[in-house]
Each structure stands twice: as C-alpha cells, then as structure tokens.
Structure 1
C-alpha cells in the first residue's frame, strides 16, 4: 500500500501544516512508500522535508475553477485521475477543505482508494463543500481535526463524524534538538544573564495577536528596563510591527528576528513563552514551549484549555490591558513550578503514543 500526501502549497505559511502531516506519516510502517503532491509552490520552499514530491504548479484560480478555468476543470480532473492511477495509491491524505474540494470529485470514482482529510484550523465550509463531504462514500472517507475543540466545531457544522487527532510531538526527538539556554541566547543576540526574556513564535499575521501583544508588553515593561520581548517569525504584518517597536516605549526592548529555520531549538532562551493568538486549530507553539520546560501564558481560548486545563496561565483574547496584567503576574510567578505543572497536564509521552495510535487507525481504516 502506498500513500499520496496532498498539500495545498509549500512555504512558511504552511510550515505547521506540513509538520503535522509529517508527524502523521512518521507513525506509519517504514515500508509504506509516501509521495507528496504540492498543488502550488515547490518542495524547496517547504520548511520541512517532504521527501519525494510532485509539483503541480497550479494557480489558485485554476484549482478553484474560476473564470475560464471552470471550463477546463474536467481536463484538470483527468490529469489528477491518471496520476492517482499511475501512483497505485491506496490511501490519500488531504490537507484541509481546499484540497478536499479539488480532489474529492476525482477520488469519488476511484473505489480502491481510501481518503483521509485533516483539518488544521477553523474554516468556512460552504453548502457545496458540505454536500461534497457528506456525499462521499462514508466507508472510504475519514475526517480528522488536530484538536478535540476543532473536531467538535466541525461535527456541529457538518453533521457527520470528525475524529479528534490531537497533534503531538515526539518528546525525546524534540528535546534532543534543544539548545542550552546560553547557546540559544547567543543565537538570538541576547545577553546570557541580566535580562528577563519573553518569547513569542509564529507567522506575523493578524490572527496571531502580535500587535496587541506589543501594546501589552509596552505597558508591562514600562518600569522594567531589563525586560525583553523576542518575536520569531515572518509575515505580512512585519512592517507595521517593526514601526511600532521603534516607538520610544518599546525601543531597544523588542526584537523581531524574522524566520529562523532553527526556531524550535531556541525555546530555552526564554523565561516565558507568550501565545496571544485570537484563534488556533491546535497551537503547536504551546506544545513546543511546554516540551522545552518553559512556562506558557496564552490567550484564553478553548483549544489551549483543552491542552493545559487548570495549569494554564491565560489572558483575555486581544485585550491589551488584560495581557499587560497577566504578563506582570507571570513575571512574579515561580516559573519552574508552572512549567512542571503544565508539562504534567500536557502529558507529552502519552499524547505522542495516542497520536500515533489514532494516526495509524486513520490510515489503515480501522478507526
């Protein structure tokens, strides 16, 4: 049996999605061959190793059947069908509703292939999308979401079964790559001692909440010249964030590093990790920080409470004042004790084992 792993695109915006799919595929039997399809972009642009890849180089307009491409959709479907037959695939793993809309009409007529669709975040599913998912043979289709919170939301929306495949990381492998505190701070250009460092990691987009975080940190750090905030990531809001940190109240206190390939190795540079997201399907940054032994202060959203429960430290979503107060409280808290409690709540070893079991069941069709 072989697997086709179909992704919308490569590149930094899709790095966490590729990471989750890689984790799913890593739990399969080693002898099971996998080929990745990229509907857009190149394998070289991916932030993780996708192995053997077929690059389709299609535009969004073509994939969505816009304008003249609507007339050429049968030709596109024919190409996909032939490629699937040539691959001799028995399982196809699809990245979210956009890829499902593109491939399910073809896969519906290939009864030898099972399909798994993985949802990574909240998404608007239009009536045509609901009809497509509900109309696909249930015996050959499995829908999975990267958290129970997201799975429940999708079940309510679609009215069909959605399995919770809470994404997890291999604790031993992740921790083996972590740099010691001093080395991580050196890599970021930070003093090894004498400063308190708050870290945040993610794409620089509005939903990650970094603009609000800057306002909150500016207030909290006003009387603390030894405090620093490091934001690791790249994205379209960088210019606006850079302009804000050049204002007097933040000047010299905030570092925007841009994208760093080794970001996951640097968590021990931080005293606290701040996750101000407005919405998340899961939030791998929270898991990575906890695995690194760093306490987390996160937005008060259901998916974070799902993972940390009462051990989580939470601040109101997109509330500058609430976040400022929470940062000040966190700075006074026993960080090691908080980190230990959060680690126990996340239970990374059990989570990794459970993730592997559910992933194998999804691919094999035994769920």
Structure 2
C-alpha cells in the first residue's frame, strides 16, 4: 500500500498535527510505503517515510484574488506526482488540503482519500458540496475527538469516524525526565510550586486570562511560579503584560521545545485555559506524566477526563485565580491518579491503533 500523507505545512506551529499524522501512519503496517508532502514547505516535526516540500504559494491555496488562477496548474502537478507515486491512499490534513486535492479523485481511479480534522472548522457551502460529492467508498472523514466528529456529522449529514488521538503509554512514560531534570532543562527553580501551560501563543489558548488569574493568585505567594511553553504571534504582548503585572521573576515564556513530551514533570499542575480545542493533546500528555490538570469546561476535555476533570468556566479570570490558589491545598497525586483512571491511556491507545488501521484500510464503521 502506497500512502501519501498531505499536510498544509511544516514547522513548530504544526507540530501537534504532525504528531497526530505520525501516530496514525505508524499503524499502516510494515509493508506500507509512506510519503509526506508539505504543500507550503517547512520541516516535518515528526514522521515516518520520506518527505517532499512543495513550496506552493499560500495565497493560491487559499484561492485569494488572481492567485486562484494558479490552482489548476498546481492540481496538474499533484496529479502527475500522485500517478508517479502510484498512490493508493491519500491522508489529508483538514479541509484546506482537501479543497485542493479532492477534485483530483475523478482523474485517479482506484485512489482513496481520508481527511483528518484536528479542530473546529467553518465549512462553507462549497466545502460541504465538495465533501458530499465523493462516494463513501472513496472518502473517509475522521476527527480527533468524538465531540468534533459529532459536530462535523451535523454539518455534513454523512458519517464521520472518531479517531481520538492517543499515545503509547509505555513509550511516553519511558521518555519522561524527572522533575529535577525537567526543571533544569527549562531553567526553572528547583523549589516552589510550578504551574505549567503548553500551547501556541494565540488567542484561542486563553493565556492572557491565565496571566491575569495568576497575578491575583500570586499575591502573597512568592514561591508560586508559572511557565508557559510554546511560541506564537502573541509572545510580545504576553511578555509586556507579564512585566506590567510585576511578574517577571515568577512567570516565564519558555518558547517552543522539541522535547516537550519529556518535560511535563517540571510542573506540579498543568493549566489549560483554552477557549476551543479539537482535542487538546496536552491534557493526555500531562495525565500520562502523572501531572494533574485544571482545564476549561469544554466538551472535548470532558470526553477525555469525564468526572475526573477539574473544569473551570472559559475566560473566567476570578474562577481561575481561585483555582490556582486552591491547588496548594489539594492532594495533587490523588487528583492525578483519578484523572489517569478516567483517561484510561492503555485502553485509549488500543482503540486508537485499531481505528487508525481501519482508517488507512478503509474498513470498519464510521463510529
């Protein structure tokens, strides 16, 4: 089986997407031949198989103005390359890649496509028509959480697979650094309570609310610290707010870390104040590192942690401040154990392996 894994772009902003595709493709089997194609170019954060950087113009892919005239040319290039690769299966990263590639299926008999959705997506009427125009036996649609799958099913009126991302618990645990090692790697103090937050520095992650809440909870507690791992366009404004709040000695923007999966035990608690998430893989990673999680009250988090979660209203600064202050009185190990039992990472990993193999083979039910 020849699989072409088409993703929008490479680099750290797309690391979580690369990780999901890597995990799916790892279930393709020993005899599968895998090619990773990055439409906009960039580096592949993690993957299996070979990698090709296409360096296509972003404005053409998004169909902006006269640039859309390039789309037929880009499709012809892709068609020739797919024929040369003797592709059997196309794994597509979301609707942006699907818009470019799905119209080619009519010219590629015998090729089947699977689209993997990673987060909330606004589907236009044209998107819906495109997705519905491909026969069920030639197109699988999957989402990284049941919450997202149900939302897409409502929009499309056709089956959507739930492919809830999971990690191999044994391999993940074996890679973890100790608390002292992780804090040293991040340049954090060895003493005191350290809260962590992980994600792109963008508005949807809610880090500006987290800073305001931490400032309230930090008053009179100099041994309480916050480390935010990630990079993004809001870095300058977040740093300015840290300084304005007088938190420069207690809050760190640690930037992007390739070894993020090894570092969770640097934290006593993980805080996830997201406004929206397709899955929120950091929740799973923290729980498997035995780090308790406090997160926004989103359906996708309840899907993973059920009654074991510590949920707070989205964007409620006061509620987050009170929760941060209350963490000092809670038994962190007990909370972490309850959340691990709710997540059931071993069972989740087995279910993910089966669902990934079925997606690539085109077998199994959509649920």
Do they fold alike, i.e. is TM over 0.5? yes
1:14 counterpart = 2:14:
yes
The equivalent residue for 2:89 is 91
CA distance in 2, matches of 1:206, 1:73: 31
Gapped regions of structure 1 (runs ≥ 5):
none
Task: Specify whether residues 72 and 229 from structure 1 end up closer, same or farther in structure 2 by C-alpha distance, changes over 3 A only.
Answer: closer
Question: TM-score normalized by structure 2?
Answer: 0.97
**SS of residue in 2 equivalent to 1:69:** helix
Question: TM-score normalized by structure 1?
Answer: 0.97
Shift of 1:17: 0.4
**1:117-155 CA distances to partner (integer Å, 9 max, x unpaired)?**
000000100000000000111111100000000001111
1:260 counterpart = 2:263:
no
The equivalent residue for 1:2 is 2
**SS of residue in 1 equivalent to 2:341:** helix
Shift of 1:248: 4.6
Q: How many residues align?
A: 364
1:215 counterpart = 2:212:
yes
The equivalent residue for 2:294 is 297
Asked whether the equivalents of residues 38 and 54 of structure 2 are also in contact (C-alpha less than 8 Å), the reply is yes
Shift of 1:236: 0.4
Shift of 1:48: 2.0
Question: Where do residues 257-336 of structure 1 align in structure 2 (5 Å cutoff)?
Answer: 257-336=254-333
**SS of residue in 2 equivalent to 1:225:** coil
Asked whether the equivalents of residues 64 and 102 of structure 1 are also in contact (C-alpha less than 8 Å), the reply is no
Asked whether the equivalents of residues 108 and 137 of structure 1 are also in contact (C-alpha less than 8 Å), the reply is no
Segment of structure 1 superposing worse, 178-187 or 324-333: 324-333
1:196 counterpart = 2:200:
no
Task: Specify whether residues 248 and 89 from structure 1 end up closer, same or farther in structure 2 by C-alpha distance, changes over 3 A only.
Answer: closer
The equivalent residue for 2:243 is 246
Shift of 1:50: 5.2
Task: Specify whether residues 70 and 269 from structure 1 end up closer, same or farther in structure 2 by C-alpha distance, changes over 3 A only.
Answer: closer
Shift of 1:197: 0.4
CA distance in 1, matches of 2:39, 2:307: 41
**1:37-85 CA distances to partner (integer Å, 9 max, x unpaired)?**
110022xx33224541111111122223333333333222211111111
1:153 counterpart = 2:157:
no
Following TM superposition, the consecutive aligned residue runs of length 4 or more in structure 1 with deviations greater than 4 angstroms are: none
Indicate which of 209, 225, 229 corresponds to 1:228.
Answer: 225
The equivalent residue for 2:134 is 136
Shift of 1:293: 0.4
The equivalent residue for 1:35 is 35
The equivalent residue for 2:162 is 164
Indicate which of 328, 337, 351 corresponds to 1:354.
Answer: 351
CA RMSD of aligned residues (A): 1.2
Task: Specify whether residues 244 and 65 from structure 1 end up closer, same or farther in structure 2 by C-alpha distance, changes over 3 A only.
Answer: closer
Gapped regions of structure 2 (runs ≥ 5):
none
Task: Specify whether residues 242 and 72 from structure 1 end up closer, same or farther in structure 2 by C-alpha distance, changes over 3 A only.
Answer: closer
CA distance in 2, matches of 1:179, 1:132: 46
Indicate which of 44, 52, 59 corresponds to 1:61.
Answer: 59
The equivalent residue for 1:340 is 337
CA distance in 2, matches of 1:115, 1:32: 16
**SS of residue in 1 equivalent to 2:197:** strand
Asked whether the equivalents of residues 34 and 48 of structure 2 are also in contact (C-alpha less than 8 Å), the reply is no
CA distance in 2, matches of 1:255, 1:71: 46
Asked whether the equivalents of residues 3 and 35 of structure 1 are also in contact (C-alpha less than 8 Å), the reply is yes
Asked whether the equivalents of residues 222 and 249 of structure 1 are also in contact (C-alpha less than 8 Å), the reply is no
CA distance in 2, matches of 1:53, 1:249: 46
The equivalent residue for 1:24 is 24
The equivalent residue for 1:118 is 116
